[in-house]
Amino acid sequence: MIRHIVRKEFTDLLRDGRFRWTAAIVGALLLVSLGSGWVETRRADAAHSAARETAREHWESQGEKNPHSAAHYGIYAFKPRLPLSFLDQGVDPYTGTSVWLEAHRQNDFLMRPAQDATSGQRLGALTAAQVLQHLVPLLVILLAFGAFASEREQGTLRQLLATGISRRDLAVGKALGVAGALALLLIPAAILGAIAITIGSPGPAATPFARGAVLTVTYLAYFGVFLAIALAVSAWARSARTALVALLGVWVLNGLVAPRVAVDLSKWLHPTPSAVEFARTMEREMEGGVEGIERPDREATASRLVAEHGVETVDDLPLNVVGVYLQESEEYANQIFDRNYSALWNRFESQGLVHEALSFAAPLLAVRTLSMGLAGTDVEQHRHFATAAEEYRRDLMRRMNGDLAENSRTGETYLADADTWAETPPFLYDAPTVGWVLRNRTLSLAMLGLWLVAAFLAAAASVRRAEVA
């Protein structure tokens, strides 16, 4: 009996011109967003690869130079685009994708597309994630709002139940019929996405496909939530019009109101300084010092080294005091950086926790954080890359200052040659695993699971108590 209901619902939907037109529009938007996102990701990967090679070439060909001057010359680090980033840009347009690594400074990231975009361009940016998070749930509502309400209005619900079919089987059949119609739209998009991942993955295929598999399950659960809610409201509402209005209200609250409230509330609970305020704080602490962090002094460093090596003067030391002092200055600055950047990152992550906690009121908030995490474009993975780039910068400074300290004496003019630059290892970055991502998103996973269970329980209860006339 369920099979007959599924066939009937599926056939009715396919014959409905409204479904064909809405599915065609949503499908076209999904395919366009997938294609444009993939092309943009490939273009960005090619640009970053070329920039990395150019930056490395410039580093190795800088000629004879004082190592500390080379440290100020610096080098760029470029954040790689993960294969799934074409689905969800996340925070990448706002955080930037490259950073200049130089002595004494932890610089902000550059190449932020949002800075150069107009307000119209920001509103017009379309990604596959936006289509899946906003338009597909709307399509689910349009397909399922009349599942029970229309049958009741037409007087056929009583006849269906009079044939002996149970309410549960009727609900399951209608749900599967709607799911089958959606599959005609989503399966081709999923196949194209898998092909894009295969073509665009620079590393082992297992990693992006593992992320893609979890992302697929996440979105299917999200669509399941809306399907169950639509069936519950349709069984409860006295008319199809009432069901549609109520479900559109749910869609507006989920997709438009809740994200705005989450942003404003997170900023209010965990405010962050402006870029100018943050820079001024860093500059003030670097110049004036901070209690508990000892500021280096060149004369004190020289006296300590003389005492440690048991010599009479600085000229008798087997190393260059300047190199040691410069590294101590780096260590001092690093403590200032850690103090301020750790506080800033923690505030960003606290804001993210507010978004996740508020997902009890809107499943979109849970899905959005999971989507960005699995695509590799969330704040946590940006912090992961920024931390790796900063560790490389500090290691590079230690190498340059150490080379100056060990291979010259105080007062000498020392120039390192091309071998020094070539021996410096390039910056290599390994993205976190899918397990690392999911451990950071346990709250979102729990909230989405809670929504799915609650929606199906509500649908079951509503169908069980639905009036037949």
Asked if residue 135 lies in contact with residue 42, where contact means CB atoms within 8 angstroms, the answer is no
Confidence bin at 205 (pLDDT 50/70/90): very low
> Structure tokens of 434?
């899918």
| % of the chain exceeding 90 in pLDDT | 45
The answer, yes or no, to whether residue 389 has pLDDT greater than 90, is: yes
Give the integer Cα–Cα distance in Å for 335 and 286: 10
Look at residue 381 in the predicted model and tell me its pLDDT.
Answer: 92
Amino acid at 320: N
Residue 84 is given by DSSP the state: G
Q: Which residue has the higher pLDDT, 219 or 191?
A: 219
Q: Could you give the angle at the alpha carbon of 455 between the alpha carbons of 453 and 456, nearest 5°?
A: 65
pTM of the predicted model, to two decimals?
Answer: 0.89
pLDDT of residue 289: 79
C-alpha span between 74 and 59 (Å, rounded) = 8
Contact of 143 with 133, CB cutoff 8 Å: no
pLDDT > 90? residue 153? no
DSSP character string of 293-349? BPPP-HHHHHHHHHHHHT-SSGGGSSS-HHHHHHHHHHHHHHHHHHHHHHHHHHHHH
Q: How confident is the model at residue 200 (pLDDT cuts 50, 70, 90)?
A: low
In this predicted model, what pLDDT tens digit does every residue of 395-453 receive, in sequence order? Answer: 999 999 999 999 989 888 889 988 999 999 999 888 898 999 999 999 999 999 999 99
What value does the mean pLDDT of the chain take?
87
CB count in 10 Å sphere of residue 247: 24
Rounded Cα gap, residues 52 and 48, in angstroms: 6
Q: What is the pLDDT of residues 251-270, one digit of tens each?
A: 999 999 999 999 999 999 99
Taking residues 73-80, report their average pLDDT.
89
